[in-house]
Amino acid sequence: MELPVLYAMRSSLYSAKARSYLIKQRINYIERPPGDPRFPAEVVPEIGRWIIPVLQTADGQLIQDTCDIIDHFDAEMPPERSAKPPAGVQNVVTRVLEMFGSEGLMRPALHYRWNFDGLNMPFVGEDFGRGLMLADGSSTFAFGPEINASDGAAARAEVSKFAADRMRALTLDFGVNPETIPEVERSYHEFLALLSAHLETTPYMLGGRPTLGDFGLIAPLYAHLSRDPDPSLIMKREAWPVWRWTERMNSPIIDSGEYGDVPLELFADDAIPETLKTLLAYIGREFAAEVEAHVGFIDDWLAETGEVEEGDVVGGKPHKRSLGLVTWNWRGHEITTNAIPYRLLHLQRIQAAFEQADPAAQDAARELLSQAGLSGLLELKARRRVVRSNNRELWGAEQQAVVLS
């Protein structure tokens, strides 16, 4: 029987999200790095861009996006194993956590990887090199300089440096610079303390099994912040429960013995504990203004462009993720980052979960997010939706824009 194949790298943020889901759901699969010759031969031409992770199903179908990979498998999961809580407050909250993990922790993830070369680069460089060049010296790294594969370690280092330089540039693109670095670090330490306090009494974000929020958060917290040498020491010293959770999220068993006999269920009665409410309030302070600024910029871009049609590729090309630069205020600093329409997909997932809830749960979710400063996540809309089709982001149908002033 053919097994699904995940093209991924251990150092890749989004690979960590897809891998963790496959592991926790005990889905038997093969993992191959993008250095494998089958990746450029079978995957890149169909996907239309060099991007990971990509799942190749047992019947050969390619699924590129982490949300789509999880949705593909979760559609067949029984309710007691699904990553999606039943319609209600928890289903909304887990998608808020998924969005924040996937998008809102980029600054600490990039800072702690690329601004500590002395400790990190011997490890990160080897990680990149061995993912992009196989042990036999073969490489499919086609977008870099000419590499003499017979040079072994020197060739891996050259491949790694070229790839790392491209990724390092993202650090500035996400607003990490000498002025903001002190706040990036303070913000991350605060986050670790709050997440650690929540995980003191529960093995997963919503109880005895992982949900979408866990899989969103594991992306940066595993790939960058618990594996790279410098941030791994911070996590182990200051937030042991978080570090243990990153181990647990990569174990095929429930792996929660230190909590006693925890039932494999979510918190009863659709409850959200106080520790998680406190974490949501942190997300409101750190992330709400960023989301509002992105939606406002994207809506203005659509209005000014005027020629976007339903079905057009977002950005004009599959590999183009940003529409330009957007500026807003974060922790007393004017910060500028890429405006990424993909984030509208996360907003739409949150809003769809809210719409699925009954009126009482909607009232409770609205009140919870309002108290956390996150009510905009239920309201914000650009004048066009973003949809996924054929492994690409496309502009969807027109809708009434909601842009907060």
Rounded CA-CA distance 372/328 in Å is: 20
Within this chain, do residues 273 and 353 fall inside the same structural domain, yes or no?
A: yes
pLDDT at 78 over 90: yes
Q: Are 335 and 213 members of one domain?
A: yes
Q: Please check whether residues 50 and 188 belong to one and the same domain.
A: no
- Report the C-alpha gap between 262 and 246 in whole angstroms: 18
Q: Are 37 and 155 in contact (CB under 8 A)?
A: no
Residues 218 and 271 in one domain: yes
Within-domain flag for 322: yes
pLDDT in tens, 320-374: 889 999 999 999 999 999 999 999 999 999 999 999 999 999 999 999 999 999 9
Continuous segment of H or E residues that includes residue 368: helix 359-371
Place of tokens 């042991």: 240
What span, in angstroms and rounded, lies between the C-alpha atoms of 139 and 147? Answer: 9
**Euclidean distance between CA atoms 206 and 59, whole angstroms:** 34
Decide which of 24, 48, 74 is a domain's last residue. 74
Residues sharing a CB contact under 8 Å with residue 60, sequence separation 6 or more, in sequence order: none
Residue 317 lies in a domain: yes
Q: In this structure, are 247 and 203 located in the same domain?
A: yes
The boundaries of the domain holding residue 361 are: 89-109+180-398
Band (143; pLDDT cuts 50, 70, 90): very low
Query: Which are the contacts of 209, defined by CB distance < 8 A and separation ≥ 6?
Result: 81, 254, 264, 265, 266
Per residue in 23-73, pLDDT (tens digit) is 999 999 999 999 899 999 999 999 999 999 999 999 999 999 999 999 999
215 and 285 assigned to the same domain: yes
Cα 353 from Cα 248, distance rounded (Å):
27
Render pLDDT for 207-238 as a digit per residue (tens, 0 to 9). 999 999 999 999 999 999 999 999 999 999 99
Indicate the SS3 state at residue 329: strand
CB-based contacts of 166: which residues, under 8 Å, 6+ apart?
none
CA angle 255, 261, 266 (to 5 degrees): 80
The most distant pair of C-alpha atoms in the chain lies apart, rounded to whole Å, by: 65
User: For 113-135, what is the mean pLDDT?
Assistant: 88
Task: Kindly report which listed range (45-54, 70-79, 122-131) carries the lowest average pLDDT score.
Answer: 122-131
Task: Report the chain's mean pLDDT, rounded to a whole number.
Answer: 93
Least confident window among 154-168, 196-210, 214-228, 314-328:
154-168
Which residue, 48, 74, 100, sits at the end of a domain?
74
Same domain, 31 and 126: no
Give a yes or no: residue 277 inside a domain: yes
More confident residue, 137 or 30: 30
| pLDDT value at residue 395 | 97
Rounded Cα gap, residues 112 and 263, in angstroms: 36
Do 251 and 349 share a domain, yes or no? yes
Identify the band that residue 139 occupies on the pLDDT scale cut at 50, 70 and 90: low
Judgement on whether residues 34 and 15 belong to the same structural domain of the protein: yes
Q: Distance from CA of residue 369 to its chain's centroid?
A: 21
At 136 the pLDDT is 60
The amino acid at residue 379 is E
Q: Are residues 194 and 224 in the same domain?
A: yes
218 touches 226 (CB < 8 A): no
Give how many domains the chain has, as a whole number: 3
Q: Which residues, listed in sequence order, are joined to residue 119 by a DSSP beta bridge?
A: none
83 found inside a domain: no
pLDDT tops 60 at residue 180: yes
Q: Are strands 30-32 and 54-56 parallel, antiparallel or unpaired?
A: unpaired
Asked whether residue 314 is domain-assigned, the answer is yes
Q: Which of 87, 90, 81 is nearest to 24 (CA)?
A: 81
Q: Domain for residue 229, yes or no? A: yes
Q: What is the pLDDT of residue 46?
A: 94
Q: Does pLDDT of 148 surpass 70?
A: no
Residue type, 150: S
pTM over 0.85: yes
> Half-sphere exposure of 388 toward its Cβ, with a 13 Å CA cutoff?
17
Least confident window among 154-158, 254-258, 267-271, 386-390 = 154-158
* Same-domain status, 105 and 134: no
Q: Are 340 and 321 in contact (CB under 8 A)?
A: yes
Question: What's the CATH code of the domain at 30?
Answer: 3.40.30.10
* pLDDT score for 320: 83
Residue 141 · residue 159 · CB < 8 Å: yes
Residue 404 lies in a domain: no
User: How far from chain centre, in Å, is Cα 138?
Assistant: 30
- β-bridge mates for residue 382, sequence order: none
DSSP 8-state symbol, 389 = E
Confidence bin at 318 (pLDDT 50/70/90): confident
Do both 259 and 292 map to the same domain? yes
98 inside domain: yes
User: Which one has a higher pLDDT value, 136 or 3?
Assistant: 3
> What proportion of the chain, given as a percentage, has pLDDT over 90?
82
Q: How far apart are CA 32 and CA 9, in angstroms?
A: 8
Please give the Cα distance from 70 to 88 (Å, whole number): 20
**Angle between helical axes of 240-248 and 229-238 (0-180°, round to 10):** 120
**By CB neighbour count within 10 A (0-12 exposed, 13-18 middle, 19+ buried), where does 179 fall?**
exposed
Mean pLDDT of 130-145: 62
* CB of 383 closer than 8 Å to CB of 299: yes
